[in-house]
Amino acid sequence: MSDVVARVRDLRIRFGGHEAVRGVSFEVMAGECLALVGESGSGKSITSRSLLGQVPEAGTVSATEISVVGEDATNGDEKFWQQVRGRRVGLVAQDALVSLDGLRRVGREVGEVLEVHNRREGSKIDRAELRSRVEQELERVAVPQPAVRARQYPHELSGGLRQRALVAAATIASPQLLIADEPTTALDLRVQAQLLDLLDELKTSGMGLLLISHDLAVVSRIANRVAIMRSGEIVETGPTAEVLRDPQHEYTRTLLAATPSLHARGARLSPLAPLTFPAELAPSRRDGAVDGPVVSVRRVSQSFSQPDGSRLQAVDDVSFELAPGKTIGIVGESGSGKTTLGRIILGLQQPDAGEVLIDGGAWSQLPEKDRRKDRHVIQAIYQDPLSSFDPRHKVGAILREALALSGVPRGERVDRAVELASHVGLSPDLLARRPLNLSGGERQRVAIARALARNPRVLLCDEPVSALDVSIQAQVLDVFADVQRDLGVAMVFISHDLSVVHHVSDEVVVMKDGQVVEQGSSDQVFLSPQHEYTQALLSALPLPELSPLGRELETDND
Amino acid sequence: MSSLRPDLVAGGPPSEPHRRARRFSASTIVAGVVLGVIILAALFPGLLATHDPNATNLPDAMASPGADHFFGTDKLGRDVFSRVVYGARISLSFGFVATVVAVTIGALVGLLAGLAPRFVDHVIMRFLEIMLAFPELLVALVVVALLGPGTTNVVIAVTIAAVPTYARIVRISTIQIRSSLFVEAATALGQRRPTIVVRHVLPNVIGPLLVLATIGVGTAIIAGSGLSFLGLGPVAPSPEWGLELSAGRDLLGTAWWVAVFPGLAITATVISTTIIGRKLQRRFEGRTV
């Protein structure tokens, strides 16, 4: 019994009339990782907070049993929980920049748990000892130069180091249970892989790990067992490999089907029926367009001056071509210049050097007034559709504006907007709503409908699914596939997510620090990566043994 | 204008539609009633007044408040209550006229600064900053000193003093909205620049500004009454609150009501407009991005 670090039986959390958690039971053993997997609103985070006594006051918690490190916590009061937090149960939250106090040095933040617990116990920890404990802990979580880092402020650390510092703050008092709530979500792939390795080591050293995540792929790397949550209930639980290979519950199957890295390229990801798009939405070409690539990027460079006076080379000599009806994926980590490149292709930013041709004609070199009449050829889809809509406009007005630009007479716009909405799978009553009151997936469909109203030949999608839950991401990716199949629209697909890019792209461009480090057909780049950066990115891809891509990679290496 | 949008982070359906406070708090209700009565007094003073505001009645001079004279009488025997009622029109017109004109001019100047090439922006901003370096009342005093006293000139002075604040707010929100993603998206959609300004920038700038203007009405009333108090505004026997206050200040020891009631009227008006302005502001902030 001694190795059970947390046990919850029949946990229920109620907010007013809404039951957010409905009878959840689980155990976490020492040296084991249990992953609670679910989409937003599934109740996974709030469930984990019940092990810290940090359920918001508005919530009523009831459970047959909550025990933490062998102690009954079912009726624990605030005093009890203060002894538990940090010392027995550590918490690593999602966003390190928000979770760390920007006005305090990192070392102070990491050491706070020790100071607080010593003070409560009436002893005072010696300054030098505290400093050395902090440095030891930073070293343990692989923060280089711990003595230097401890004296810095959170903004002086990179995202990966901040996240490590947060782990150090959670583990310094050697808790027996560590709760990691979406610890890798905001991180680049390589940093994410390093952090998962670190959590794995902590687990091996005997800590119990409760991992909260929306991403089955991430979870599969380190979790011994998974519990799939939906609407406040655990719908399926079991050893990770078993659940992933042979899911029993319908919802688990939907989640797995929605995860791109588990499927062959281009496979359908969502259970929804394919959409069909009529010929009236077919692309219209530019006047005087010539056959050939629909987008040509020729030796484009762009630099920005930085606050300290130096120049940042955001895009450095990038060239590629996109054939009509095909998809090119642009992959890179944050800061690789992919978004700047996207803005240049859209003609929103004039490059310092090089040029972009659209439909064979001059584009990036044109003055805006000459470009405007041809803007319908290339349309944009953004990561955050909500802020790409005028906050004062309702969905109907948003679509009618695009239709008006396409020359649809005023009297027909209302009907056309309804048709447009139904083509992308939106109900007509949404036209009277504001985007703020739509779900993420609905908002992205509105953005797609708005773009299609202009009859584009090219869709430039900048991280279009990064903010969405996996099952919604699957639906939106399927919409893109339907659009491309029926209308022959070409796509520039910008993303940090390799598995998504692999799923949609015919050609791939890998960017790092503004430069293209590798480009070619999707198979070529993903199956035999030449550049070490691409190799590093791919080896950081979670879940190698379960994905077709991962299997092909492994057989390839043999 | 916070950029923190928790509903986006997860990307799922928005949790709980934004719950807007529909019920009014007691203070808002009181403020609304007070302001309603004052506006009624400004529009139809005859409905509320019990006496002719300018009718002197020396035998009745300095009568203390009572059933016949709610707020007492001044040293000429004029009914203070009726004078306060009739004064509402002049005092409120200071606030409303000056604010409406100042907001209009400020919005135009701010839009120009926010949209024009950088050197135009620089010239406008440096000039506004010079004006902003002095307190509003001081600017208004200088203007009145140049134009000479009088009701119209006080309104002009208060307007000029208020313009820089509005212009600066409009400029900032113009710049903010000009660089927002939805303006970029409209450009990428192929929308013309003038259309973008009229359709997307202007409405998003004006909304929050109107709310601020409501609060500004109070400030303008104080400035206008202040100038009148100093004898730079309407001339006696006009029943203006600032002027009344000034006339009553020597009588505080003997007939406090002559000064106190006009003073209370100013205070009540300013507090009410501020409360309602803040209420509108809170409502509005929930809806902007």
Predicted structure pTM score: 0.81
Rounded to the nearest 10 degrees, what angle do helices B80-115 and B241-248 cross at? 130
- Separation in Å, CA of B289 to nearest CA in chain A: 6
Segment B134-147 mean pLDDT:
90
Query: Could you say which of B181, B189, B287 has the minimum Cβ distance to residue A384?
Result: B181
Question: What integer pLDDT is reported at residue A542 of this predicted model?
Answer: 59
Residues near B208 by Cβ (< 8 Å), separated by ≥ 6? B173, B281, B284, B285, B288
What is the chain A residue with the closest CA to B200? A390
Choice between A352 and B60, residue whose per-residue pLDDT is larger: A352
Residue B76 has pLDDT above 80, yes or no: yes
Say yes or no for a CB contact (<8 Å) between A390 and B191. no
Question: Which ranges of chain A have pLDDT less than 50?
Answer: 1-2, 558
Chain B, 12 to 51: residues with Cβ < 8 Å from chain A are: 12-15, 17-18
* Tokens standing for residue B215: 């609060």
Whether the CB of B73 is below 8 Å from some CB of chain A: the reply is: no
Whether the CB of B285 is below 8 Å from some CB of chain A: the reply is: no
Cβ contacts of A379 on chain B, cutoff 8 Å = 188-189
CA torsion, points B24, B30, B33, B37, in degrees to nearest 10?
Answer: -160
Q: How far apart are CA A250 and CA A454, in angstroms?
A: 39
- Separation in Å, CA of B284 to nearest CA in chain A: 11
Rounded to the nearest 10 degrees, what angle do helices A470-487 and A250-258 cross at? 50
* Tokens standing for residue A223: 């979790």
Nearest to B95, CA basis, from B209, B192, B225: B225
Find out whether B242 and B266 touch, Cβ atoms under 8 Å: yes
Say yes or no for a CB contact (<8 Å) between A436 and B14. yes
Where would I find the H helices in A362-491?
368-371, 395-405, 410-423, 440-452, 470-487
Query: Could you say which of B15, B185, B192 has the minimum Cβ distance to residue A372?
Result: B192
Please provide residue B76's backbone torsions phi and psi, each rounded to the nearest 5 degrees.
-100, 5
Segment B181-197 mean pLDDT:
95
Question: What integer pLDDT is reported at residue B7 of this predicted model?
Answer: 37
* Tokens standing for residue B79: 């009914």
Q: How far apart are CA B206 and CA B37, in angstroms?
A: 28
- Separation in Å, CA of A37 to nearest CA in chain B: 14
Cβ contacts of B10 on chain A, cutoff 8 Å = 40-41, 214, 440, 467, 469
Whether the CB of A370 is below 8 Å from some CB of chain B: the reply is: no
Q: How far apart are CA A435 and CA A446, in angstroms?
A: 8
Q: How far apart are CA A56 and CA A60, in angstroms?
A: 9
Q: Mutate which of B5, B182, B191, B196 to test chain A, going by most A C-beta atoms within 10 A?
A: B182
Question: What integer pLDDT is reported at residue A393 of this predicted model?
Answer: 93
Question: What integer pLDDT is reported at residue A17 of this predicted model?
Answer: 84
Query: Could you say which of B11, B181, B199 has the minimum Cβ distance to residue A40?
Result: B11
Say yes or no for a CB contact (<8 Å) between A401 and B191. yes
Cα A414 from chain centroid (whole Å):
35
User: What stretches of A275-392 adopt beta strand conformation (E)?
Assistant: 295-305, 311-322, 327-331, 353-358, 361-362, 378-381
Q: Mutate which of A45, A372, A388, A475 to test chain B, going by most B C-beta atoms within 10 A?
A: A388
Angle A53-A58-A61 from CA coordinates, rounded to 5°: 45
- Separation in Å, CA of B274 to nearest CA in chain A: 25
Whether the CB of A7 is below 8 Å from some CB of chain B: the reply is: no
Helix (H, G, I), strand (E, B) or coil at A235: strand
Choice between A430 and B280, residue whose per-residue pLDDT is larger: A430
Whether the CB of A40 is below 8 Å from some CB of chain B: the reply is: yes
CB atoms within 10 A of CB B67: 5
Say yes or no for a CB contact (<8 Å) between A390 and B182. yes
Cβ contacts of A255 on chain B, cutoff 8 Å = none
Q: How far apart are CA B222 and CA B202, in angstroms?
A: 30
Cβ contacts of B190 on chain A, cutoff 8 Å = 372-373, 375-376, 405, 454
Q: b/e for B74-100, b at 16 or more Cβ within 10 A? A: bbebbbbbbbbbbbbbbbbbbbbbbbe
Cβ contacts of B11 on chain A, cutoff 8 Å = 40, 440-441, 467-469, 472
Element containing residue B157 per DSSP (H, E): helix B151-178
The per-residue DSSP string of B130-153 comes to HHHTS-HHHHHHHHHHHH-SSHHH
- Separation in Å, CA of A78 to nearest CA in chain B: 28
Q: How many CA atoms lie within 13 A of A12 on its CB side?
A: 11
Question: What integer pLDDT is reported at residue A551 of this predicted model?
Answer: 59
Q: How far apart are CA A187 and CA A163, in angstroms?
A: 9
Cβ contacts of B207 on chain A, cutoff 8 Å = 392
- Separation in Å, CA of A373 to nearest CA in chain B: 7
What is the chain B residue with the closest CA to A381? B185
Judge if ipTM > 0.90.
no
Cβ contacts of A450 on chain B, cutoff 8 Å = 189
Whether the CB of B194 is below 8 Å from some CB of chain A: the reply is: no
Q: How far apart are CA A359 and CA A378, in angstroms?
A: 10
Find out whether B242 and B225 touch, Cβ atoms under 8 Å: yes
Please provide residue B288's backbone torsions phi and psi, each rounded to the nearest 5 degrees.
-85, 160
Q: How far apart are CA B26 and CA B37, in angstroms?
A: 17
Say yes or no for a CB contact (<8 Å) between B9 and A450. no
Say yes or no for a CB contact (<8 Å) between B190 and A438. no
What is the chain B residue with the closest CA to A370? B190
Cβ contacts of A39 on chain B, cutoff 8 Å = 12
Question: What integer pLDDT is reported at residue A1 of this predicted model?
Answer: 41
Q: Judge if the upstream peptide bond of residue B237 is cis by omega within 30 degrees of 0.
A: yes
Query: Could you say which of B14, B185, B186 has the minimum Cβ distance to residue A382?
Result: B185
Query: Tell me: the pLDDT tens digits for B226-263?
Result: 999 988 888 878 888 988 888 888 888 888 999 999 99
Query: Could you say which of B15, B187, B207 has the minimum Cβ distance to residue A41?
Result: B15
Residues near A193 by Cβ (< 8 Å), separated by ≥ 6? A539, A540, A542
- Separation in Å, CA of A500 to nearest CA in chain B: 17
Whether the CB of A98 is below 8 Å from some CB of chain B: the reply is: no
- Separation in Å, CA of A391 to nearest CA in chain B: 6
Residues near A490 by Cβ (< 8 Å), separated by ≥ 6? A294, A295, A322, A323, A324, A325, A326, A327, A457, A458, A459, A484
Find out whether A424 and A275 touch, Cβ atoms under 8 Å: yes
Cβ contacts of A386 on chain B, cutoff 8 Å = 5, 8, 289
Q: How confident is the model at residue B63 (pLDDT cuts 50, 70, 90)?
A: confident
Question: What integer pLDDT is reported at residue A543 of this predicted model?
Answer: 57
Helix (H, G, I), strand (E, B) or coil at A349: coil
Helix (H, G, I), strand (E, B) or coil at A18: strand
Cβ contacts of B204 on chain A, cutoff 8 Å = 390-392
Residues across chain B = 289
What is the chain B residue with the closest CA to A392? B204
Q: How far is CA B109 from CA A7, A293, B132, B169, in A?
A: 65, 47, 15, 10
Chain A, 336 to 355: residues with Cβ < 8 Å from chain B are: 346-348
Say yes or no for a CB contact (<8 Å) between B17 and A41. no
Residue B6 has pLDDT above 70, yes or no: no
Partners of A461 in the β-ladder: A381, A493
Helix (H, G, I), strand (E, B) or coil at A353: strand
Say yes or no for a CB contact (<8 Å) between B13 and A39. no
Cβ contacts of A344 on chain B, cutoff 8 Å = none
